[in-house]
Amino acid sequence: MENKQDFEERIRMELKLKGNEVSPSDELYSKIINDVINNKKGSFEMLKNRIINIGSKRLVAAILCALMILSIVSFSTSENVKAFATETINHIKTIFVLDGTNTDYKVVEKPADTTFIWLSTSKDTKLSDNELTKKVGFQVSFPEVLCSDMKLTDKCELIYLNKITYEDSQKLQPNILKAINDETVFNSLNTYEPARGVGALYTNDKSELFISNAPISAEIKNLLSSSKLTKVDLNGTLGYWAEIPVPSYSLIEQNAITQQDITKQPKDIKTSHMFFWSSNKVYYTIAFLPDKELSMDETVAIAKSFIDQSAK
Amino acid sequence: MDKLDLIEHFQLGDMSSFSELYKLYSRPALGTAYLIAGQKSLAEDIVQESFIQCYHSIKTLKNIETFDVWFYKIVTRTGWRMVAKNKSTLLLDEPETIDTLIDYNAFAKFNSCEEKMTIYESLAKLSLPLRTVIVLYYFNDMTIKDISKVLGCFEGTVKSRLHNAKKQLRHLIGEDINMPVIETNYTGKECVDHGK
């Protein structure tokens, strides 16, 4: 019979060997995250835009400005939920969002843990158009030059979460960024209805604009259909010139991520313009940096140039 | 960022810290659960449930230095609960899934063929409290004191369980064949929850 020490060593060794044979499956973390998220309270039917950006300052500024434009949405909260919101609003952190349509809107204060926002997160990318096409699942083509002098300067990848509360968005921020390059993490965000998109910054002496492509979602449709629109023919494709109110939130930087601070009342609401069209279930939007707006006709020319060259 | 920083950040709601803690603890937790439950699929369920509970209760942890004890308390309790719950289901309703029980059915083979069992195989023959003490002590390298905190028992109880467990293991693996096996049936009555 082996002595006490040898026997103990044998137990230790065999158990270490057996216990280390198993390793967590790839899906385990996603399951955990999904569970903690699904079991959270909150059933509000409200949408709001929120943007997180990482990348070069210029690109970040462009994307923030461009995406902030997609901020007007309408509430569809039930009366019961509204009552609950009024009750709890004094006890929990709140956010300030636009409520209403393009013609009739105001900034309202809403609970941060039950109010759904529409979140987009971006990161600059060096991937080619072909690589981006494979990654996002729809055709990506950013011409180097539009209308002879509007040059491509930066590209980025985007993650859209169509249904997430502000509170969850804060907790999940690092994961959302990771999701850009990690399909497993991306899938773990399923509860929030995630979608991939791409964007590019174009500049010339007169203007700086941001073109983004994203799969059509109900949220985007709601956003755009509630705006003041002018229809434009793009050689057979219908385009829209939209006038949109944009709340001027202050920008903050947390963990090297630039983002709007929607927990504070926006300074004011500005009117901005954007242009959009859809093709093959993808929405294309053109938005401008502040004070760099083009006229509707100039923007239509850019869109036509983009469509022509992308089709080649 | 070290472990304590991660725990602190996680308490403040930082999900990336939770993710890092998962990376640090998921593998040893799975090993622990696997040795206690004897099935990989069940072990994954135990770990999943434990991390979910950890996520929801992290703010109740007052001293972050006791995270290990606190976390393994969750793992063992969840393990015991799920083992008890799944035992009958797996055996009665899903006999086809018993392949995952192979290891713990090995003792039957031992009984019938008089073959020697490995330490791991004989572990299944032990009662859950004895098995758990062996796993925490030899696999997780925990001290008697920490195990007593994890299980909510007196240190003396842990020592006695460890002693009995080793005795039974010796018997089961075919050494010390004449030694009578001391049956220890867990009643749960002697446990004191230090957390309450």
Assess if residue A11 is contained within a domain.
no
Selected for mutation to probe chain A from B138, B141, B172, B179 (highest A CB count within 10 Å) is B138
**What pTM was estimated for this model as a whole?**
0.48
Alpha helices (H) along B58-141: 67-88, 102-113, 119-123, 128-134
Asked if residue B39 belongs to a domain, the reply is yes
> What is the pLDDT at residue A38?
59
Domain span holding position B119:
3-172
Asked if residue B187 belongs to a domain, the reply is no
Q: Which two tokens stand for residue B157?
A: 């109880």
Q: Judge whether A182 lies within some domain.
A: yes
Domain contains B195: no
State how many domains chain B has.
1
d(CA B133, CA B126): 10
Is the confidence at residue A214, as pLDDT, over 80?
yes
Q: What is the mean pLDDT of each run of 10 residues along chain B (196 residues)?
A: 84 77 94 92 93 88 92 95 69 32 35 58 88 95 95 93 91 61 38 38
Point out the residue among A14, A36, A171 whose CB comes nearest to the CB of B118.
A14
Tell me, yes or no, whether B188 lies in a domain: no
Residue A190 lies in a domain: yes
Kindly tell me if the per-residue pLDDT of A67 is higher than 70.
Answer: no
Among partner residues A15, A36, A173, which is closest to B119 by beta-carbon distance? A15
Contacts of B34 in chain A (CB under 8 A): 18-19, 21-22
Residue B136 lies in a domain: yes
Does a structural domain hold residue A251?
yes
Average pLDDT over residues A271-292: 84
Query: Can you tell me the ipTM of this complex?
Result: 0.77
Q: What is the pLDDT of residues A160-182, one digit of tens each?
A: 887 778 778 777 877 887 888 88
Q: Is the predicted pLDDT of residue A146 greater than 90, yes or no?
A: yes
Q: Is residue B180 part of a domain?
A: no
* DSSP-assigned letter for residue B90: I
Q: How many residues does chain B have?
A: 196
Residue A6 CA to residue A14 CA, distance in Å, equals 12
Instruction: Supply the range of the domain harboring residue A107.
Output: 34-311
- What's the CATH code of the domain at B25? 1.10.1740.10
Confidence of residue A29 (pLDDT cuts 50, 70, 90): confident
Considering only CB atoms, which chain A residues are within 8 Å of B32? 19
- Asked whether residue A40 is domain-assigned, the answer is yes
Contacts of B178 (CB under 8 A, 6+ apart): none
Q: So what's the pLDDT on residue B105?
A: 37
Answer yes or no: is A171 within a domain: yes
Q: B193 lies in a domain?
A: no
Pair type for strands A282-288 and A269-279: antiparallel
Q: Is A230 helix (H, G, I), strand (E, B) or coil?
A: strand
Q: Residue A159 burial by CB count (10 A; 0-12/13-18/19+): exposed, middle or buried?
A: buried
Q: Is B32 among the domain residues?
A: yes
Residue A29 lies in a domain: no
User: Is A34's pLDDT higher than 90?
Assistant: no
Closest CA to A265 of A70, A68, A48, A108: A108
Amino acid, single-letter form, for residue A178: K
**According to the model, what pLDDT value does residue A64 have?**
54
Please tell me the predicted confidence (pLDDT) of residue B87: 65
Q: How many domains does chain A have?
A: 1
